Amino acid sequence: MLTYSLDKKGTDSLYEFLYKCIKKDILNGTIAANEKLPSKRSFAKNMGISVITVENTYSQLMTEGFIYSLPKKGFFAADIKNTMQKKELPAENDIEDKTCEQNKCNADCTATQTDSRNFPFATWAHLMREVLTQKQTDLMKNPPAGGTLELRKAIAEHLKGFRGMTVSPQQIIIGAGTEYLYGLLIQLLGFDKRYGVENPGYSKIAKVYKSHNVECSFINMDKAGVCVEELEKTLTDVIHISPSHHFPTGIVMPVSRRYELLSWVSSSPSRYIIEDDYDSEFRFSGQPIPTLQSIDISEKVIYMNTFTKTLSSTIRISYMVLPANLVRDFHSKLGFYSCTVPTFEQFTLASFIGGGYFEKHINRMRKLYHTKRDSVINALQNNKYAHKIEVLEKDAGLHFLMRLHSDICSEHFLKQLESCGIKIMPLCAYYKNPPDSALHYFVVNYTSAVHEKIVDAIEHIQ
């Protein structure tokens, strides 16, 4: 009969020891497939242990499928097809986590990282505590797929005051970042649609479309934005644009082009416009531009915005405003999804907006970015290259364009910047097949935490 020496038990309990022994013997074939095991009673007696211990052991082995029982016949070893082998795991550092890599450059003008010193920690912490105290029941309730009504109401109010948009909270869908919402929109509008992104543009957007395996064209822009002829030529159904402030060119789409696009979109039921309004809060002069969404009468514009630019990129809250017909589609097709933003963050943000803190924060940040921008431009204008540098599209958003006179060698200039620790992106990098006209242009993000270093580095260009 099956016997194991209890001397080898070590610190295991009797039950654990027995379980491991039998399991091992079944796996290595010592106990053959379909071999009968001793009855509980006789096994216990043989080992000098209690029947309950054997019972527990058999019961666990049975749950895991190592043994099976036949009524009135007893217990048998299961037929394990493969043999167990120790799995080789990758070494801790085997897999490089590229995104973890520390940035080695001093003055990174390509970073979109938020400056942690500007986040309203005190207010946020205060509101969080309030939410935790006052909303315990609501915090544990599953919100609708589109997000909590509180946050959707707060966003609707904000859009009214800040963008002159009249939208109902039902039209608002909250999600964990715009990248997530792009994916959700593909599920809503269809994988069979042809999507279009601006060329040049923010490369992540095209990556999201490609990664969802949908057709995605790069739509060339002229001075007013994407060209309608290009949309027609590429048979684009859904165009993803940022008319309020295009990245990286800084173009604000004029009203005439807006109406051209609205006319294009309304002429086929499969067409839609995604209006990505990612940094409209940071316009420095004049009134903000009215959104396409607010002049759209054909219910064809999906408005999208995010709190990652205004608050922090590590708070993953974005939202979209759907036209009424798509709201219905959303609930019937995608209403089964759980909202991806924790209720906790949603309630805190709702209080933050509702209490007027968000508006104050935006105003404070706008001033701060204005100052940062001016000091970077000032440093550029007092540099030895000053007369060869032109600053463009500086009135909106969190970056500007810099044009070098064509008699400077761009490569040489970039190398000089690099030697001073300045990282900067040429405009060409944002193009699919960059045209000659994009040469000598550079994109300067000046909002990052290392802004002082940027100014300092510019001053030290020799």
- 268-297 residues near a copy of itself, rule: CB under 8 A: 285-287, 289-290, 294-297
Provide the 3-class DSSP secondary structure of residue 272: strand
Asked if 198 contacts 220 with a C-beta cutoff of 8 angstroms, the reply is no
The tokens describing 233, both together, are 């030529």
Q: Which one of 177-185, 361-369, 399-407, 437-445 is the stretch in contact with a copy of itself (CB under 8 A)?
A: 177-185
Q: Provide, rounded to whole angstroms, the least separation between the CB of residue 55 and a copy of itself.
A: 11
What backbone phi and psi angles, to 5 degrees, belong to 191? -75, -10
- Interface residue with a copy of itself, options 7, 269, 336, 437 (CB under 8 A): 336
For tokens 């709190």, the residue is 307
Q: Which of residues 84-103 bind a copy of itself (CB under 8 A)?
A: 84-92, 94-100
Residues binding a copy of itself: what is the number (CB under 8 A)? 120
Helical residues (DSSP H) of 64-135, grouped into ranges: 121-134
CA dihedral 248, 249, 252, 255 (to 10 degrees): -120
- Interface residue with a copy of itself, options 191, 235, 367, 405 (CB under 8 A): 191
Closest to a copy of itself by CB, 16 vs 383, is: 16
**Residue 330, H or E segment:** helix 324-334
Q: Which of residues 361-420 bind a copy of itself (CB under 8 A)?
A: 395
Alpha-carbon distances of 154 from 160, 170, 245, rounded to whole Å: 10, 12, 24
Kind of pairing between the strands at 172-175 and 318-321: antiparallel
Q: Provide, rounded to whole angstroms, the least separation between the CB of residue 374 and a copy of itself.
A: 19
Q: Provide, rounded to whole angstroms, the least separation between the CB of residue 63 and a copy of itself.
A: 5
Q: Which of residues 54-73 bind a copy of itself (CB under 8 A)?
A: 56, 59-60, 63-66, 68
Q: Which of residues 205-264 bind a copy of itself (CB under 8 A)?
A: 207-208, 211-213, 224, 252-260, 262-263
Going by C-beta distance under 8 Å and a sequence separation of 6 or more, which residues neighbour residue 232? 264
Alpha-carbon distances of 91 from 94, 97, 98, 100, rounded to whole Å: 5, 13, 16, 17
Q: Which one of 274-282, 342-350, 365-373, 399-407 is the stretch in contact with a copy of itself (CB under 8 A)?
A: 342-350
Closest to a copy of itself by CB, 257 vs 440, is: 257
Omega cis (within 30) before 248: yes
For the window 121-160, what string marks contact with a copy of itself as x by the rule CB under 8 A? x--xx--xx--x---xx-xxxxxxxx--x-----------
Going by C-beta distance under 8 Å and a sequence separation of 6 or more, which residues neighbour residue 357? 120, 123, 127
Q: Provide, rounded to whole angstroms, the least separation between the CB of residue 222 and a copy of itself.
A: 13
Closest to a copy of itself by CB, 26 vs 44, is: 26
DSSP 36: B
Q: Provide, rounded to whole angstroms, the least separation between the CB of residue 377 and a copy of itself.
A: 19
